[in-house]
Amino acid sequence: MLRVEARPLLLGLPPLIDSRSTVLILGSFPSEMSLAKQEYYGNPHNHFWPIMEALFDVDRAASYRERTSALVEQGVAVWDVIARCSRKGSGDDRIREAAANPLIALLEGHPGIRRVAFNGGMAYRTARLLAPGMFGLRGVRYERMPSTSPRNARMPLGAKVEAWGRIKD
């Protein structure tokens, strides 16, 4: 008898954004640890917060509320391409039944966003698949950045900081 393992539907996190936002960083979907903490990039081995510290002077040791407030104050918004999905574990390669967040509506509602930075190839490919219309918006520049995930260990932190530095232009 074939046994099918049911996976619960997982819901992502709300966007970190306000009217000052000029850059939107899009991940694919939060890890198990991030969902449990209800924090973007909650895995201490993820390089996201060290990169934001290097680029925007956001203290990675500060509380989550302080870090996110400081980042949004700098004009940086954070969200994910995927709103909900099923997944076993934290790997993007295990995502199933994905549904996109309303990315076009978010960008149209925040016309100050002029750049979208995808946190890794999976976020970029997923956006191309689930929300292709967003790439037609005028005046918005899209760029795939190196993943900050601990799985992207082949690229050292310094190289990631240098690459991510383009979002400050």
Active centre residues (catalytic): 46
* Crossing angle of helices 48-56 and 157-164, rounded to 10°: 50
Copy the structure tokens of residue 104: 């076009």
Cα dist from 161 to 20, 39, 72, 145, 148, whole Å: 23, 21, 19, 10, 10
Copy the structure tokens of residue 94: 């295990």
Closest CA to 72 of 36, 27, 119, 23: 23
Residue 25 and residue 77 in contact, taking contact as beta carbons nearer than 8 Å:
yes
